[in-house]
Structure 1
Amino acid sequence: MRVTSPIIDAVAIAAAALAQVGADPLTRPIVTDRAAEWLAPRPPVRVFGNTYLVGFGGLSVALIDTGDGLILIDGALPQGVVAILANVRKLGFAPHDIKYILSTEPHFDHAGGLAALARDTGATVVASRRGAEGLRSGRLAADDPQLGYDSRFPPVPHVRPIGDGEALRLGRTVVIARATPGHTMGSMSWTWRSCEARTCRSIVFASSLNPVFADGYRYSAPASRPIVDGFRRSHAVMARLSCDILITAHADQDGATDRFRTDPGACRSLAKASADKLDKRLREERGR
């Protein structure tokens, strides 16, 4: 009997990736103590209608079959690219049919695999204007609360910027970009409708809303005011979204165990959890 565990399987994925790509700089593993958790293997699954998940236990990667090509959302870590494309194939799709790859944020855990995915599929990467700047540089922005970590990832040379509220159309699918700044000022969430026969659902792929920070960063500092204001706007946006199904960039967001949520008020709950964490941190910084 073969004994498996998320750690063993995650290591196997990384080893397989290295074996296939050799010294490929775009898939060279990014070392982090959470890689095994984030890349815990999961089979591809249909969420609803033409929407699928092809990612991992800790990092979500979504796939939309528009009828005229595929849309991928997020790219996880570089060493996860082989597994993502394998999951796409398991669903019966061809990676070269991926026309767009949408980015939630310019952080290594969600954007690390974008350069390799774009190269291997020929797809166009799409991000917010601030997000596009970060993807092209492969570096964290100067105002990023996590700048102290100096987390780098393979830069994405060609990125198509998209504005808040702008629609991306492909086949029978319209994806709307929803700016959700705070975690990064370039963070973008994505919404669309997916149908089965006459039943349709509003789906939200939410960017990270967690107020994470590197040592020494203070949300209460005057220079951090735009970040806090960005979070507040994002909380209001997320709470108002039509949200029958919620997919979070981190699949284990706020202790979740399901890969997506269908409970009423899921987006409002996500917004409230983020607001509560931010308020708690602000109180701690102010000594209250």
Structure 2
Amino acid sequence: MKLRTIGALTAAMIAAGAPAQEREDPLTRPIVGQRTAEWLAPRTPARLFGNTYLVGFGGLSVALIDTGEGLILIDGALPQAAPSILANVRKLGFDPRRIRYILSTEPHFDHAGGLAALARDTGATVVASARGAEGLRSGRLAADDPQRSLDHRFPPVARVRAVGDREVLRLGNTNVTAHATPGHTMGSMSWSWRSCEARRCRNIVFASSLNPVSGDGYRFTAPSSQGIVAAFGRTHAKVKALRCDILITAHPDPADAGGYTDRLGACRAYAEKSQRALAARLAEERAAGRR
């Protein structure tokens, strides 16, 4: 997928001496691709369950948790989406300045592109895995990322707090657990927490992408890729075992009109779908190698 960054307008306005407030914000400069309109299709912000809300888009999930002592945001979508995310937070009656943490699922432009602007505008701390933090600070894909050849750059995040697998982030009445889910990127992280309404509680999982996609020329069957294939296997087992009453995926399944899955076995089905896709990709590469 070819992408382009719209920067000509900024240069022209600066050259013309345009007022600062009229200049394009470099942290929200649009990244435009074939699926941008689909990913950023408007979705009305709404309560999902208990203290958990959805403030994202038709093709990119962004979640909000009200802990009683501050807000937690999960993922930041594309750079140009940051103002809409903050507007959706306000529509729900919350002050974006109460966002204390922004959790990242992966260092890719479509989920992390808006993090730098969101962190700047809220003062929140961005949290990611150690490998994810490296990618966020650089604003580009890691050398071992299957999509590295596409080199989708995004605004780097200056300050990122790294957390480990199974580490718990505590704020107010909510404990969010980090789950390392490498494969799609080696820095991918999923997040889970418990949300309650009166006496009824649900385990919610915001899962990173598990899609085994790559840039042209990348081979999952190559010797250098075996660490990633093994990581996918560990991730599939982990996601299947998660306590998961409600599943939010980084890219919502179009079959789930609400942008989430609320059914028994949702996490297991999500992992099995990835398993099938990876198996098909490996078989395709092996068949091509025999021709």
**2:268 matched residue in structure 1:** 268
- Residues 192 and 206 of structure 2 are in contact (CA less than 8 Å); yes or no, is this contact kept in structure 1? yes
Aligned mates of 1:21, 1:75 — CA distance in 2 = 24
Q: Does 1:159 align with 2:160?
A: yes
The aligned counterpart of 1:188 is: 189
Structure 1 residue 258: Cα displacement: 3.2
How far apart in 1 are the matches of 2:238 and 2:23? 43
Which residue of the partner structure matches residue 38 of structure 1?
A: 39
Q: After superposition, where does 1:20-99 map in structure 2 within 5 Å?
A: 22-99=23-100
Corresponding position of 2:171: 170
Asked if 1:211 corresponds to 2:212, the answer is yes
| Cα distance in 1 between the residues matched to 2:206 and 2:74 | 8
User: Whole-Å Cα distance in 2 between the matches of residues 93 and 267 of structure 1?
Assistant: 30
Moved over 4 A (4+): none
Paired letter, 2:61: S
The superposition leaves residues 105-147 of structure 1 with CA deviations (integer Å, 9 ceiling, x where unpaired) of: 0000000000000000000000000000000000100000000
Q: Show CA shifts across 1:242-265 (max 9, x none).
A: 000000000137x54431111110
Match status 1:142 vs 2:149:
no
Q: Secondary structure at the match of 2:149?
A: helix
- 1:62-113 C-alpha deviation (Å, 9 max, x unpaired): 0000000000000000111111000000000000000000000000000000
Indicate if the aligned counterparts of 2:72 and 2:102 stay in contact, CA closer than 8 A.
yes
In the other structure, the counterpart of 2:101 is: 100
Task: State the distance in 2 between where 1:234 and 1:251 align.
Answer: 19
Q: Check the 8 A contact 1:57/1:252 in 2, yes or no.
A: no
Identify the residue that residue 280 of structure 1 maps to in structure 2.
Answer: 280
Answer whether contact 1:21 1:27 (CA < 8 A) is retained. no
Amino acid at match of 1:71: I
Match of 2:134 in 1: 133
CA offset digits 1:191-245 (Å, max 9, x no partner): 0000000110000000000001110000000000010011001100000000000
Secondary structure, aligned partner of 1:96: helix
How far apart, CA to CA, are the structure 2 residues paired with 1:22 and 1:224? Answer: 43
Counterpart contact for 1:105–1:186, Cα < 8 Å:
yes
Q: C-alpha separation between the residues in 1 aligned to 2:257 and 2:240?
A: 21
Local SS of the residue matching 2:32: coil
Query: What is the rounded CA distance, in whole Å, between the counterparts of 1:188 and 1:73 in structure 2?
Result: 11
Work out the CA distance in 1 between the residues paired with 2:95 and 2:253.
Answer: 28
Cα 1:176–1:140 shift into 2, 3 Å: same
Matched, 1:119 2:120: yes
RMSD (Å), alpha carbons: 1.3
Opposite residue 159 of structure 1, the aligned amino acid is V
Secondary structure of the equivalent of 1:40?
Answer: coil
The alpha-carbon distance between structure 1 residues 21 and 282, as it changes in their structure 2 partners (threshold 3 A), is farther
**What amino acid maps onto 1:214 in structure 2?**
G
Residue in 1 that maps onto 2:246: 245
**Structure 2 residue runs without a partner (length 5+):** 1-20
Separation in 2, partners of 1:114, 1:142: 21
**CA shift for structure 1 position 21:** 6.7
One-letter amino acid matched to 2:27: L
> How high is the TM-score relative to the length of structure 1?
0.91
Matched position secondary structure for 1:177 = strand
SS of the residue aligned with 1:231? helix
Q: Which amino acid aligns with 1:282?
A: L
Q: Report the secondary structure of 1:176's partner residue.
A: strand
Displacement of 1:159: 0.1
Paired residue total: 269
Q: Which residue matches 1:6?
A: none
